[in-house]
Structure 1
Amino acid sequence: MNTLKNMRIFVRVADGASFAGAARALDMTTPQVSKAISELEAHLRTRLLHRTTRKLALTDAGRRYLARCRDIIALVDVSEAEAGAASAAPSGTLRLHAPASFGQVFVVPALARFLEQYPDVEADLLLSSRVPDLLEENIDVSLRLAASQLPDSGLVSARICRMASVLCASPQYLAEHGTPASLDALAQHTRVRLNAPHYTVERWLFDGPGGPVKLPIPQARLRVNTADSLTAALVSGCGVAPVPLLSALAALRNGSLVRVLPEYELQGTDVYALYASRRYLDAKVKTWIEFLRAFVEQVLAAPDAAAIAQLPQSAGR
């Protein structure tokens, strides 16, 4: 006996209160439908339906069983849809959001390769520090930065990477003002700092040879709200400050910034991909998240990137 098939037939009979109606909807004969219900009742050793010449009604056991059948059939349908989506080729329009810094450094080049590899996919990319509403704005995947766990939002999250922050300054600034020899000396050099929602603004959390160190953030004459503007300020000679690696990377590579106290790493920032639901997860969404994660890991592990090679091993974890 095909139990799942007979469950579907039973639900159809119960919904229409008719053997003949279920037979027409399922492209079966009425005797076939009747036989399926009889097999199900024999298997369960209980009557599910009261039958008369004029009326069909559920028994108490039938009503309870009907609710369970609906749950089971729904779960099977979702599982089959997910399995089918996983094997399907990505296609359609992929609507993405990312913070500007991470988006420019990682998402744009990753997306260029992704679209080349999957020609049936188109993409709309929104780069903004504003956190969008995925459902209201019809966004498939939103990237979020978080120094700790994400707040409970009802969305599904997938961790992309952990991004270190590193102390930086311009070579010109250090030549003129000297290089700090300890964390305590930072108070004499810090003139700019980052105030961002995902960043702790009361204190800095360093990890160095002696373990974690908490340091009150020194006063700064300039406060900015994006990592890119912080990087630009440091390149211009505004002092010494910790910068998220994703924003400092290009400047470290071209020498307009250098690491200060390289044995210390500041608090890391986790990057998450958020999407609405695991149910019926579209192939292009699943494939994009996996593609981006692999792309970022590859960039962080690049052997020819001198700035990255000098980072603590925790930078890419």
Structure 2
Amino acid sequence: MADFLNNLRTFVRVVEAGSFTAVANESDCTPGQVSRAVTSLEEELQALVLHRTTRHLSVTDVGTRFYERAKVILADIDSATDEARNATESPVGRIRVHSSPGLAYSEVATALASYQASFPAVSVELKIEQSMPGLVEEGYDLSVVSATQLPDSAYISQALGAAYSVLVSSADYIARHGLPRKLTDLADHALLQLESPVSAADEWHLQSADDTHLWTITRTPFRVNTPDALRAALFAGVGIGTLPTYTVADDLASGALVRVLPQYHLRPFTVFAVYPSRRYLDAKVRTLLEHLRATLSPALANAMEIVETFTGDATAPPASPPKRVAGTARKRPAKRK
């Protein structure tokens, strides 16, 4: 194919220059090499495109029609080549991003909005699903997911930050059912289940500064598959559940939710940016990765800092909890109606 395109370019230049010698001088080769390129093209086409004599060169009828089409084809190829090369230098076009629900609603959508404002030539398409799709098969440029460990794959990943889930409930539920003071008290409470890629819905792997425990939920009044749905159930006073630090930080700071057994949290996990390949990385992906490191990473750390201030009396928020990092997190109402 490369030889055919080179021969095609040579033919077009011969027609425009009017002689093999002129093209040879431009290309630093011999007239014989130029002539052989045109002959090879004619053999490929099984058609004569040039009449040659020792003193004269003319284009055949077939060659004239072919020349007009060839000019358009080569212009399109050159344009596509320039566009592809520029794509690795300047972010432009559409970028398709996947994110898991908790991350998307609490942090990623805001980070993508500020990215698009910084790069207005890029349009962002965000797909929110709990499990990571096939990036190549489904045409995604990048995925932002939470995981304790990524499966082996040909994808490239970058760690953007860490998080963990904590036990929370509404003040209304605590007022009606009492505040658990020790782990065994959980047996007397309604425990809500969240289906999540980082932990089993019916198992809480709890850690403290001194020990670890596995709490198995044998019965539940409420089971959901997204953090926002669990959050709504917690607001409604259904029971006690677990939410990631980046989802629950604002609610703890505002008092919309309270932390239960604050000396414990679930085992930590990592937030990853995953993309298909690092070879010839598109400028959109490269600049988005840089933007996520500059915005999402500090927001994740800031959310954990807020949550870690709630380690005393679960019903008493600290005097002045840290504020959210400006421009990286979405403020939410204290309670949904």
Mapped contact 1:194–1:227 kept (Cα < 8 A): yes
Tell me the CA shift for residue 166 of structure 1.
0.7
* Structure 1 residue identity aligned to 2:145: R
* Structure 2 residue identity aligned to 1:164: Y
Instruction: Quote the residue 2:121 is aligned against.
Output: 120
Instruction: Quote the residue 1:144 is aligned against.
Output: 145
Distance 1:311 1:268 in 2: 17
Give secondary structure in 2 for the equivalent of 1:136. helix
Deviations along 1:218-272, one digit per CA (max 9) or x if unpaired, are 4212211111111111111111222222332332233220111212111223222
- Report the CA distance shift for 1:184/1:294 in structure 2 as closer, same or farther (over 3 A): farther
Distance 1:238 1:268 in 2: 26
Instruction: Quote the residue 1:201 is aligned against.
Output: 201
Instruction: Quote the residue 1:310 is aligned against.
Output: 309
Mapped contact 2:190–2:239 kept (Cα < 8 A): yes
Percent identical pairs in the alignment equals 36
Instruction: Quote the residue 1:245 is aligned against.
Output: 245
Instruction: Quote the residue 1:36 is aligned against.
Output: none
* Structure 1 residue identity aligned to 2:259: R
Distance 1:152 1:172 in 2: 44
Deviations along 1:164-210, one digit per CA (max 9) or x if unpaired, are 10110111111111110112211211331112343223532122121
Distance 2:302 2:146 in 1: 22
- Report the CA distance shift for 1:269/1:302 in structure 2 as closer, same or farther (over 3 A): closer
- Report the CA distance shift for 1:128/1:241 in structure 2 as closer, same or farther (over 3 A): same
Tell me the CA shift for residue 306 of structure 1.
8.2
Instruction: Quote the residue 2:169 is aligned against.
Output: 169
Tell me the CA shift for residue 144 of structure 1.
2.2
Instruction: Quote the residue 1:266 is aligned against.
Output: 266
Instruction: Quote the residue 1:50 is aligned against.
Output: none
Distance 1:85 1:212 in 2: 52
Mapped contact 1:187–1:219 kept (Cα < 8 A): no
Distance 1:201 1:141 in 2: 27
Distance 2:202 2:175 in 1: 29
Give secondary structure in 2 for the equivalent of 1:299. helix
Tell me the CA shift for residue 301 of structure 1.
4.4
Distance 1:87 1:114 in 2: 17
Tell me the CA shift for residue 98 of structure 1.
0.9
Distance 2:280 2:86 in 1: 7
Mapped contact 2:146–2:270 kept (Cα < 8 A): yes
* Structure 2 residue identity aligned to 1:259: R
Q: TM-score, normalised by structure 2?
A: 0.62
Mapped contact 1:91–1:120 kept (Cα < 8 A): yes
- Aligned CA RMSD, in angstroms, stands at 2.9
Tell me the CA shift for residue 276 of structure 1.
1.0
Instruction: Quote the residue 1:88 is aligned against.
Output: 89
Tell me the CA shift for residue 292 of structure 1.
1.3
Instruction: Quote the residue 1:278 is aligned against.
Output: 278
Mapped contact 1:170–1:235 kept (Cα < 8 A): yes
Distance 2:91 2:212 in 1: 44
Distance 1:126 1:219 in 2: 33
Distance 2:169 2:310 in 1: 16
Deviates more, 1:167-176 or 1:127-136: 127-136
Deviations along 1:58-108, one digit per CA (max 9) or x if unpaired, are xxxxxxxxxxxxxxxxxxxxxxxxxx9898332222111111221121111
User: Structure 1: which 5+ runs fail to align?
Assistant: 1-11, 13-22, 34-83, 313-317
Give secondary structure in 1 for the equivalent of 2:115. helix
Q: Across the two proteins, how many residue pairs are aligned to each other?
A: 236
User: Structure 2: which 5+ runs fail to align?
Assistant: 1-5, 7-22, 34-84, 312-337
* Structure 2 residue identity aligned to 1:247: T
> Aligned ranges for residues 160-239 of structure 1 at < 5 Å?
160-239=160-239
Mapped contact 2:163–2:246 kept (Cα < 8 A): yes
Q: TM-score, normalised by structure 1?
A: 0.66
Mapped contact 1:190–1:218 kept (Cα < 8 A): no
Mapped contact 1:85–1:280 kept (Cα < 8 A): no
Mapped contact 1:301–1:308 kept (Cα < 8 A): no
Distance 2:88 2:27 in 1: 29
> Aligned ranges for residues 69-84 of structure 1 at < 5 Å?
none
Mapped contact 1:92–1:120 kept (Cα < 8 A): yes
Tell me the CA shift for residue 302 of structure 1.
4.3
Mapped contact 1:160–1:293 kept (Cα < 8 A): yes
Mapped contact 2:166–2:244 kept (Cα < 8 A): yes
Tell me the CA shift for residue 299 of structure 1.
2.1
Mapped contact 2:191–2:217 kept (Cα < 8 A): no
Structure 1 runs (4+) deviating above 6 angstroms are: 84-87
Instruction: Quote the residue 2:98 is aligned against.
Output: 97
